[in-house]
Chain A
Amino acid sequence: MQISQVSLAVLEILPRGASEGIELLWRLIRAGRRGTRAFLWPFCALELNPGEWKEGGEVALCEHLSLAIGFISNIIALGIGLPYGAAAAWYGGAVDFVLIRIIEIINSVPNLLLGILIISVLGPGFRNVLFVFAVTGWMGIARLVRGQFLSLREQDYVLAATCIGVPNYRIIIRHLLPNTLSPIIVSVTLGIPGAILGESGLSFLGIGINPPLPSWGRMLNDYLSAIQSHWYLAFFPGLMIALAMYAFTLMGDGLQDALDPTK
């Protein structure tokens, strides 16, 4: 119940766009299992055997897995991207050149193809899917951190700190990082729907999360062949992906406006 109090407190502080997004997301998490069953129930009761409508619960479990993939992979991506970008900006010169070239090279391979390639080497499964999004997600954050650091490094207060003999690591932690925080938060929030969409894409191709664990994308693919007779089986998993994406995008956009000091 602590979480709900925190989220209520957050709701009051943030402007409308962000709070709408969080609220939608919160409802999605809370009402997940029951809600999606209620969605499917009228259709299931009409046409399916009782055995077949376990799927309603499955739609809800998928959302937990998708959210887990979204959050964890972005935290890993942050863990790689932040030090990487900081190192590129702080050392500059040849180090910067090499680090940025590496990002450019990885970026020029389409993300989904890189995902399929990694999955074909490691095999499908929850952990490997996480790995895919950690690998494909950190470049954006690294670029962002580098850009921010480069512009912040020229600020007077950094010069002042250097003059009075503050060590490098302390300048980075106390002066540069706090000022980079808000764009990073926005970038991570917008990275989560990306990972969710990517996961459902991989699962849609049949190489995402392994069968005992449910996935929206996989369900969509499984029921694609039954689309003529039971259209809703493939329709609702897709709707859930779209709703989750919509909630996160709205939240990211709201946060962007809320954290932008120039507005």
Chain B
Amino acid sequence: MIPTVIIITVAVFWMLKLAPGDPLDLLLAGNPDISPEHVERIKKLYGYDRPIYEQYGRWLWQVVQGNLGYSRIYHRPVTEIIPDRLINTLILTGSSLIFSLLIAIPIGVYTALRQYSLLDYLFSFLSFFGIAMPVFWFGLILILFLSIQLKLLPPGGHYSLEREVGILTVLRYSIMPVIVLSLFSMASWMRYMRSGMLEVIHEDYVRTARAKGLAEGRVIVRHALKNALIPMVTLIALSIPGLISGAVLTETIFSWPGMGRLIYDSLINNDFNIAMAVFLIFAFLVAFFNLAADILYAFIDPRVVYT
């Protein structure tokens, strides 16, 4: 986990250093009178004259001490900017993860049990459509109908802008982003759940459970569903990076102040410290979820043994 994160930060650091425009360009553009000696002095002061690996070493050493640097566009330390944004993104991705699981699993199970029924066809059509629908377009349609035509929900922004923040305002602001972000994962998990369940339901142990006279509900939940859920754990862990990608787009449409928007702004404006910090955090998040999936996998499936 740690080596992966370190290799990612090395690669990102190197690529960002390759990007055109270093922090001094802005300084030079804003001040035509600056002399070459001054430029050299400032370069030396910030360590830009050193080789890349030494600059990386310094950055890493500072990060280990808990100092993520200073943002050039926000003029505040990165450690002050990140927490609020991180919480907003975690709220968005976390609730859409839970929301899509809550919808996808029951529907997947139902469509597997009633294969080739009318609802099965309907849901499989909807899931195809959910996969095909671009996140930003779906968001646009929702904004058009729910906020502009019906004036039910605010078209974007964050609940902290409201004078009173209650559970209702939080819901009003986050319901559209969560639905938009969930759409893709919901649609694909629905299909995986359906096929996983279909596979399990024809197994011998399900027939055995039925044969010994267990109630149908108990057969489905205790014997079939439990086994069908095992591959879902890996699938969910693997979809975390995709969810973060989707969050970048969702946050852009709904002007949700989260990490996705932050990293886009920082990369476009060449805000080095913020970009590094966000990549570091995302790398940690993904590595953490992969680890969690491995542990969970061994926990729910006793056949898996790690050596």
Q: A249 and B132 in contact (CB under 8 A), knowing A117-B12, A205-B249?
A: yes
CA distance A113 to B242 in the complex (A): 10
Given contacts A121-B15, A123-B20, 7 further A-B contacts (CB under 8 A): A110-B242, A121-B20, A217-B136, A227-B144, A227-B148, A231-B148, A245-B133
B129 x A246 contact (CB < 8 A): yes
- Asked whether A104 is an interface residue with its Cβ less than 8 Å from the other chain, the reply is yes
CA distance A104 to B291 in the complex (A): 13
A110 x B241 contact (CB < 8 A): yes
The list of the 10 closest CB pairs from A to B, nearest first, reads A238-B137, A112-B245, A245-B132, A246-B132, A110-B241, A108-B286, A110-B244, A120-B267, A110-B245, A121-B19
CA distance A120 to B15 in the complex (A): 9
Which residue in A120, A238, A250 is a CB contact (below 8 Å) of B19? A120
Interface centre among A107, A111, A112, A245 (most CB of B within 10 A): A112
Interface centre among A113, A205, A238 (most CB of B within 10 A): A113
- Asked whether A72 is an interface residue with its Cβ less than 8 Å from the other chain, the reply is no
Nearest chain-A residue to B127 (Cβ)?
A249
Nearest chain-A residue to B17 (Cβ)?
A121
Across the A-B interface, how many residue pairs have beta carbons closer than 8 Å? 124
Which residue in B16, B133, B148, B241 is a CB contact (below 8 Å) of A228? B148
Could you list some 28 contacts between A and B, CB below 8 A?
A: A105-B4, A108-B286, A109-B12, A109-B241, A109-B283, A110-B248, A111-B241, A111-B245, A112-B244, A112-B245, A113-B245, A113-B263, A116-B248, A118-B15, A121-B15, A121-B19, A121-B20, A200-B134, A201-B134, A201-B136, A204-B134, A227-B148, A234-B140, A235-B141, A243-B132, A246-B128, A246-B132, A249-B131
Contacts of A227 in B (CB 8 A): 140, 143-144, 148
Q: A220 and B137 in contact (CB under 8 A), knowing A105-B8, A108-B241, A111-B242?
A: yes
Chain B interface residue count, CB cutoff 8 Å, equals 43
Nearest chain-A residue to B124 (Cβ)?
A253
- Asked whether A32 is an interface residue with its Cβ less than 8 Å from the other chain, the reply is no
Q: B residues engaging A (CB < 8 A)? A: 4, 7-8, 11-12, 15-16, 18-20, 128-129, 131-137, 140-141, 143-144, 148, 241-242, 244-246, 248-249, 252, 263-264, 267-268, 270, 279, 282-283, 286-287, 290
Q: Is the interface of B mostly helix, strand, loop or mixed?
A: helix
Q: Is the interface of A mostly helix, strand, loop or mixed?
A: helix
Contact with B along A111-138 (1 / 0, CB 8 A): 1110011101101000000000000000
Interface centre among A105, A108, A118, A200 (most CB of B within 10 A): A108
B267 x A117 contact (CB < 8 A): yes
Interface centre among B132, B135, B248 (most CB of A within 10 A): B132
CA distance A116 to B242 in the complex (A): 14
Interface bin, chain A: 35 or more
B140 x A238 contact (CB < 8 A): yes
Contacts of A220 in B (CB 8 A): 136-137, 140
- Asked whether A38 is an interface residue with its Cβ less than 8 Å from the other chain, the reply is no
Contacts of B144 in A (CB 8 A): 227, 231, 235
CA distance A250 to B141 in the complex (A): 23
